């Protein structure tokens, strides 16, 4: 699978393989997590948690390639081989590759406050999003 020599040329609509620019499969995740806890008062404790996992499964654009993973200058990446966007193919141009632009996100907030030495008041709220959308 190779980059399209005619990519970006509005006068040409056909795929011509550019053997000097082979496509690379990019199936990785960019992850980040944050946990903050504060004891606001002797009786009130607050905690926040955020976890984000963004898939990088490929695209035909060099700027996306650079953002997703370490790549060589001018390298074309061409999707993943795993569900839900199995888009790498030796018979298709890299521009046809799908790209999941968001992945999993977990958000959580908690509050704790002792009412007595035997009773603890606690309130928690959380949200999770796990989806894959091709564009």
Reported confidence tier of residue 42, pLDDT bands at 50, 70, 90: very high
The token pair at 94 is: 């890299």
Average pLDDT score over residue span 82-92: 55
- As a whole number, the mean pLDDT across the chain is 74
Helix, strand or coil, per DSSP, at residue 65: helix
**Percent of all residues in the chain with a pLDDT value above 90, rounded to a whole number:** 32
Residue-wise burial string across 96-106, b where 16 or more C-beta atoms lie within 10 A, e elsewhere: bbbbbeebbee
Nearest to 52 by CA among 124, 125, 109, 128: 128
What pLDDT is stored for residue 131 in this prediction?
A: 67
| Sequence-distant contacts of 112-121: CB under 8 A, at least 24 apart | 112/44, 112/45, 112/47, 113/43, 113/44, 113/45, 114/43
Average pLDDT score over residue span 81-106: 61
Residue 103 has pLDDT above 50, yes or no: yes
């Amino acid at each position: 699978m190779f980059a399209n020599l005619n990519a970006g040329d509005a006068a040409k609509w056909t795929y011509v393989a550019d053997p000097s620019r082979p496509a690379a499969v990019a199936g990785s995740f960019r992850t980040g997590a944050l946990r903050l806890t504060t004891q606001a008062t002797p009786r009130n404790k607050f905690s926040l948690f955020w976890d984000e996992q963004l898939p990088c499964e490929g695209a035909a654009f060099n700027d996306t390639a650079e953002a997703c993973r370490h790549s060589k200058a001018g390298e074309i990446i061409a999707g993943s081989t795993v569900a839900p966007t199995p888009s790498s193919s030796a018979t298709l141009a890299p521009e046809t590759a799908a790209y999941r632009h968001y992945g999993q996100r977990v958000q959580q907030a908690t509050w704790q406050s002792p009412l007595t030495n035997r009773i603890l008041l606690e309130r928690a709220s959380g949200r999770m999003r796990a989806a894959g959308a091709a564009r």
